[in-house]
Amino acid sequence: MATLRQQALAMVQSRQRVTVTAPSNKISDFFGVNTFGTAQMRVSLAPSAYKRVMEAIDKGSKIDSSTAEEVASAVKTWALSKGVTHYTHWFQPLTGSTAEKHDSFFDAFSGLEKFKGSALVQQEPDASSFPNGGIRSTFEARGYTAWDPTSPIFIFENTLCIPTIFVSYTGEALDYKTPLLKSVEAINEAAVAICQLFDRNVRKITPSLGIEQEYFVIDKALFTARPDLVMGGRTVFGHSPARGQQLDDHYFGSIPTRVKDFMVDFENEALKLGIPVMTRHNEVAPGQFEVAPLFEEINKATDHNQLLMDVMDKVAERHDLKVLLHEKPFAGVNGSGKHNNWSLITDTGVNLFQPSNSARENLQFLTFLVATVKAVYDNADLLRASIASAGNDHRLGANEAPPAIISVFLGATLTEVLNELEKNGNIKIEKGDNMYMKLGISKIPEIILDNTDRNRTSPFAFTGNKFEFRAVGSQANVAGPMTVLNVIVADVLVEMAKDIEKEMTAGKEKKIAIVNVLRKYIKDSKKVRFEGDGYSDEWAAEAQKRGLSNLKSTPSALDVYSTKATKELFEKHNVMNGIEVHARHEIMLESFMKKIQIEGRVMGDLALNHIIPTAILYQNKIIQNANGLKGLGLDNTAAVETIKEVSKHIESLKSNITAMVEARKKLNKEEDIVKMAKGYQTDVKEAYFEKIRYAVDKLELLVDDESWPLVKYREMLFLR
């Protein structure tokens, strides 16, 4: 009988192209048609209700119950007109995916379709199955979801989806969105205070986010034939193909036809949902691609990224493809990340990270730039923790990925500017002097435009008018790291305001006061700035000398969540209380531990049930061959050597798997989750994963191709 692998390969051969037609040649004809956004609200709500919803969006004011009734009724009419029968609150629990529970509009009692304002505003999903890190056992057993009007309602898979936050009955956040929204508030307040030193008209500042999403695509049949991909999202075995990414030919190559069809298809769906997808291209590894929407306000961008991942997954089905969002589906080639392009934009339309032609604005630009660098320096460990996951551990520091060391890249020009400022800040400025000229900051824009140097090896890079946090994992909910980034920058801005105030109280002129504070912050945070090759071993050594952390594994990286300083930081900015921080720490440790546990089990099952039996059958064939040769009086050395090789790897597999199972059993009795997760890291993952993989991958090279049970790398990675 053919193996699952052979059946899958045959299926791939018979795939037909799926024709994709756009709803219209003009994107503007269908952009956002599946959202109940501002435009839709304007036409379907009474002016007074529309005004109140807009106020809720802009100023965070409460939506009263009569407005909620009106919105609900309009939303229902709109949804029914599109053939939608069900609605759901759509939220982002700490599992990392999105959750929904569908209810019908149909009310059997009245025989009518109904949707009440109260159902729009609040619901009580059965929350007990979502991770809560002990919050609900110590408090109430219930949780509820509440409408977030700042993110548009949308229709997905024939269901009306209402973006919501998810909190426990006592108010603790059980999701990603709640702290993110609070962090947006925190940075708004802190940044406006600083901005007002430069421009009294600024009333509101919002972080913007543009997310570049990397992913792999493989044929669905091949995916299904790999239990490790199905169970854990990554291949635990598989020898590198003869041709990997060493030719560097995939990046600029043309997109394979089937993938191109899939891209066009999911982009159309995304555009209908108001997700402004703009660019598509191949990535570095074979089978790897990227999609990037235009940046949006951070909360919307985050929701859109979560939704986009779902859209990609669903649309891939139609093409018999599977999207792999794992950070490291294949060993030996690049992993996938999510580049978070982040900036701060004022309600007067100024991007605070955009150098300008006005010297005064440049001082403002430098103020926010330096604050961000200082925030990363002061909180590097927390930023590292915010991107920690079992998947990302495989990526950080491996093939062409930023290391686990957090550093900031500014580019040669800005480095020069900061160095000059640090040195010359002391200069005496007389009345009528051009201070900006003296400080050398009157001319930043031209130089920057000139200078397109990019450092792809930095985890946190300034890229002309925004910062790009590249170390975020490809399957992560970006709300985690973005909440941390907002909070740490807010924290520095608050301190900065105080320090500037102090200088001014001591009699310094405002601009001088600002420059003095900048100089100090530049000096304090200098160690985190690195312009060289972040992938090199020299950097790891240099970083160690500088005293920067290099936390390679998730459980260790997460330790910072248990410190007093972390809890105080989140509490001070009203983003999370101590209980919420603690809960998150536990959930992340648990999730890490479970993933390693699953991978360990999959490795064991595959090796024992698939690899070893296949290897033994093959070994028997060669034994026959060796005996046959011997009987003929011929040299059988090669056959005997192969038998020995195969035996050695089978032995190694058996003994390592037995030992790994023992290690897991022992750890499963551990009651302290920190110790348990750390144990899984050292005693399971580090102790056995490599050894087991090594034996299997060697056997893959020895055993005849026809009987090998697992789909090979070359078969998965080179899709046409």
Interface residues with ligand ADP (CB under 6 A) are 208-210, 212, 292-295, 341-343, 351, 463, 465-466
Site map 193..232 versus Mg ion, x via CB under 5 A = ----------------------------------------
Shortest Å distance, C-beta 454 to ligand ADP: 7
Shortest Å distance, C-beta 535 to ligand ADP: 18
Residue whose C-alpha is closest to residue 34's, from 75, 92, 73, 88:
75
Q: Could you tell me which stretch among 35-43, 246-254, 335-343, 591-599 binds Mg ion (CB under 5 A)?
A: 335-343
Shortest Å distance, C-beta 296 to ligand ADP: 8
**3 state DSSP class of 309:** helix
| β pairing state of 296-297 and 321-324 | unpaired
The partner in contact with residue 653, picked from ligand ADP, Mg ion, none with C-beta cut-offs of 5 to 8 angstroms by kind, is none
> If 0-12 CB within 10 Å is exposed, 13-18 middle and 19+ buried, where does residue 621 land?
middle
Element (DSSP H or E) covering residue 122: strand 122-123
Nearer to Mg ion, 34 or 455 (CB): 455
Shortest Å distance, C-beta 339 to Mg ion: 5
User: Alpha-carbon distance 405 to 459, whole Å?
Assistant: 8
Spell out where 475-575 has E strands.
Answer: none
Nearer to Mg ion, 339 or 685 (CB): 339
Backbone phi and psi for residue 212, each to the nearest 5 degrees, phi listed first? -85, 120
The partner in contact with residue 151, picked from Mg ion, ligand ADP, none with C-beta cut-offs of 5 to 8 angstroms by kind, is none
The partner in contact with residue 295, picked from Mg ion, ligand ADP, none with C-beta cut-offs of 5 to 8 angstroms by kind, is ligand ADP
Torsion of CA 24, 25, 30, 32, to 10 degrees: 150
Contact call for residue 338 and Mg ion (CB under 5 A): no
Q: What residue is closest to Mg ion based on CB? A: 339
Q: What residue is closest to ligand ADP based on CB? A: 210
The partner in contact with residue 183, picked from ligand ADP, Mg ion, none with C-beta cut-offs of 5 to 8 angstroms by kind, is none
Nearer to ligand ADP, 294 or 541 (CB): 294
**Site for Mg ion (CB under 5 A): which residue of 339, 584, 693, 712?**
339
Nearer to ligand ADP, 266 or 342 (CB): 342
Shortest Å distance, C-beta 343 to ligand ADP: 3
Backbone phi and psi for residue 213, each to the nearest 5 degrees, phi listed first? -105, 120
The CB-side HSE value for 180 (13 A sphere, CA atoms) comes to 31
Nearer to Mg ion, 338 or 339 (CB): 339
Nearer to Mg ion, 213 or 554 (CB): 213
Residue whose C-alpha is closest to residue 359's, from 198, 197, 191:
198
User: Mapped to the 3 state alphabet, what secondary structure does 174-226 carry?
Assistant: CECHHHHHHHHHHHHHHHHHHHCCCCCCCCCEEEEEEEEEEEEEEEHHHHHCC
Given a contact cutoff of 8 angstroms between Cβ atoms, the answer to whether 656 and 684 are in contact is no
User: Alpha-carbon distance 505 to 507, whole Å?
Assistant: 5
Nearer to ligand ADP, 100 or 212 (CB): 212
Size of the site for Mg ion (CB under 5 A): 1
User: Alpha-carbon distance 573 to 187, whole Å?
Assistant: 9
Shortest Å distance, C-beta 697 to ligand ADP: 34
Nearer to Mg ion, 448 or 611 (CB): 448
Shortest Å distance, C-beta 622 to ligand ADP: 52
Given a contact cutoff of 8 angstroms between Cβ atoms, the answer to whether 377 and 495 are in contact is no
Structure tokens at 116: 């009440």
CA distances 384 to 444, 452, 496, 558, Å, are: 31, 27, 23, 8
Nearer to Mg ion, 136 or 339 (CB): 339
Shortest Å distance, C-beta 305 to ligand ADP: 10
The partner in contact with residue 458, picked from ligand ADP, Mg ion, none with C-beta cut-offs of 5 to 8 angstroms by kind, is none
Nearer to ligand ADP, 353 or 592 (CB): 353
Shortest Å distance, C-beta 683 to ligand ADP: 40
Backbone phi and psi for residue 409, each to the nearest 5 degrees, phi listed first? -105, 130
Shortest Å distance, C-beta 394 to Mg ion: 21
Given a contact cutoff of 8 angstroms between Cβ atoms, the answer to whether 136 and 172 are in contact is no
The partner in contact with residue 294, picked from ligand ADP, Mg ion, none with C-beta cut-offs of 5 to 8 angstroms by kind, is ligand ADP
Residues that bind Mg ion (CB under 5 A): 339
